[in-house]
Amino acid sequence: MSLRTMRAVMALAGATLLTTALAACGGSGDGGSGGGGKTLRVFIGANTQYPTQQQAWEKSIGDQFKTQTGATIQWETFASGSEELTKIQTSVVSGTGPDVYAIGTTFTPTAYATKAFVTLGDAEWQKIGGKDKFIQSSLGISGPDPQHQIGIPWVARPFVMIYNTELLKAAGITKPATTWDELTQQAKQLTKPGQYGLAVAYKDNFDPWKFIWGMATQAGDPIVDGKTARITDPAVKKAYQTYFGWVTTDKVVDPAAVGWTNPQALAAFAKGKTGYFALTSTTAANTLDASAVKGKWAFTLLPTVPPGATSRPAGGVEAASILSGDNLVVADYSKNKDLALQYVKLVTDGPAQLDMYKIFGQLPQNAASAQSLTSDPKLAPIVEAQNKSVSTPFTGAWADIQLALTNTVVQSIPDLAGGSVPDAKLDSLLAAAQKTAQSSLDRAK
């Protein structure tokens, strides 16, 4: 009877489905790829500047790893600071997630505070090739002190400015700016119809807070003072005002920049009609050399004198850049710790490190590889920036603070687009950020 057959068919279909679901329930990464091999899960930032190259790189590393260890790598990427943080937090809390994380150096303190990552002892350093393999100053953000380190330096991105040598020469500027005021001044000189003095990425998820931190730290406000957040300090307000002012009052930035991410701002600079590109690193080199400004650009240090001053005040730090880059951390809950360390060794060895530079422009943290690159005169400002890099405060609350500083910019975007950020609004946003930051600091254990 048709009803009976229909029922039978449905029952069979249902049973098959459920069995498939049952059989396919293994999602936690061991032996998931249907062979004898294991799977290593790696969490890295999505390279939005070079997406296709990143896919190629992932494949190449994956192949090398497979040949070396027989295990496959499964990649997971994040595209924003909040995604990064959410993933770290939820994985730590649920005890399941990626085995190796490549996180921003500024997030290392937050990762450390969760106490869920492997503290690197002698055995671990040995397995990845020894502590001496790395640039020693970079270890400053690996942990609160040398005995408690979780972060393995992977790549560095010291932040610098890029300027268009032709445009500056045409405007009669002999030396790139060394103070923020001078930068604004020069940008005004460089701004004329069809040309802008400065390219800034207001909508980027990772850029804006670095300006604020830089200007504030140079003025003597490290944002976090012990257990107190100092976001409502005048130095921070001045930093935001300067940062917003470029597009609202000084008008040295293309109004479209309000919607730019870093790659988009770089693309604008690459057209050859902008004087300075405010926050970038060696990652821009490949893009620029394939564009209209090839041969016409150079690196220079970011200004180290806070806005409103001609020289650094007492207590101000000569912070040319944050201690920037990516650290690798291994999760404590991982069942593949040895595999993880092998992966770390693979990507911190010479060849892989040089590849990171050649393809993506990220500076190696492998001391030998870095040494071989410093002979390039173009990189002199980069080396200087690296030497003058200052680490962001090492507190578990830093990720929240960084996001709060970024959020202040996010909430101001509409006003920026409209032409001005009212003082009162900025004050209230800063007060909100202060509150978030302080409560985060209070709870940080």
Partner 1 sequence: MIDDRPRGAPGEPAVPAAGGDEPAGRRRGVSEQHRPLWLLAPGGLLMTVVIGIPLLLAVYIALVDLDQYTLRRWLQAPFIGVQNFVEAFQSGLLHSIWISVSFAVIATAATAPVGIAAAIVTQNAYRGRAWVRAAFLIPYVLPSFVVASVWRTMLQPDGIVNALLAKMGVTGGLWLSGPKAYWTLILVEIWAAWPFVYLMALAGLQSVDNEVHEAAAIDGASWWPKLRRVILPHLRGPVLLACLLGTLNHINNFTLPYVLFGVPAPDNVNVMPMMVYVTSFQSLRFGLSAAMAIVSLLLIAIPLFVYLRALRLDVHEEGGRR
Partner 2 sequence: MTASASAAQVRKADRRVGRRTAAGEAHRLLPRPLLVIITVFLCALVVVPLAYILLASLNSDVGVAGGEFWPSTFSGASYARIWTTADLSTGLVNSLIVCASVAVASAALGTVTAYVLVRYTFVGRVTILRALVGLQSIPGTLMLLPVFVLFSSAGNYLGITVIGTRWGLFIAYLTFALPFSTWVMVTYLRGLPRELEEAGRVDGASTLVVLFRIIVPLSLPAIVVSGIFAFLLGWNDVLFASVLTQPETRTAAVALQVFGTTQEAGALPVYSQMMAAALVCAAPVVLLYLVFQRYLVGGLTAGGVK
Q: What residues line the site for partner 2 (CB under 8 A)?
A: 3, 6-7, 14, 17-18, 20-21, 24-29, 32, 41, 46, 48-49, 51, 55, 74-77, 79-80, 83, 90, 93-97, 204-205, 261, 263-264, 266-267
Site string for partner 1, 305-344 (x = CB under 8 A): ----------------------------------------
Residue 378 touches partner 1, criterion: CB under 8 A: no
Q: Which residue among 139, 173, 359, 410 contacts partner 1 (CB under 8 A)?
A: 410
**What would the DSSP string read from start to end of 312-372?**
PPTT----SEES-EEEEEEBTT-S-HHHHHHHHHHHHSHHHHHHIIIII-PEE-BHHHHHH
Residue 407 touches partner 1, criterion: CB under 8 A: yes
Minimum gap (Å) between residue 83 Cβ and partner 2: 8
Residue 221: closest CA among 138, 312, 140: 312
Cβ atoms of residues 192 and 227 within 8 Å: no
Cβ atoms of residues 144 and 112 within 8 Å: yes
Tally helices (H) and strands (E) across the chain. 17, 14
Asked whether the CA dihedral 283, 288, 294, 298 is positive or negative, the reply is negative
Residue 401 touches partner 1, criterion: CB under 8 A: no
Q: Which residue among 44, 71, 73, 85 contacts partner 1 (CB under 8 A)?
A: 85
DSSP, collapsed to helix, strand or coil, labels residue 33 as coil
Minimum gap (Å) between residue 385 Cβ and partner 1: 30
Asked whether the CA dihedral 260, 263, 269, 270 is positive or negative, the reply is negative
Residue 171 touches partner 1, criterion: CB under 8 A: no
d(CA 412, CA 258): 10
Residue 89 interacts with which of partner 2, partner 1, none, CB < 5 to 8 Å by class? partner 1
Q: Which helix (H) or strand (E) holds 408?
A: helix 398-418
Minimum gap (Å) between residue 432 Cβ and partner 1: 9
d(CA 396, CA 29): 28
Strands (E), 139-221: 152-156, 160-164, 196-199
Q: Which residue among 40, 42, 92, 190 contacts partner 1 (CB under 8 A)?
A: 92
Minimum gap (Å) between residue 274 Cβ and partner 2: 16
Site string for partner 1, 95-114 (x = CB under 8 A): -------------------x
Q: By CB under 8 A, name the binding residues for partner 1.
A: 80, 82, 85-86, 89-90, 92-93, 114, 259, 400, 403, 407, 410-411, 413-415, 417-418, 440, 443, 445
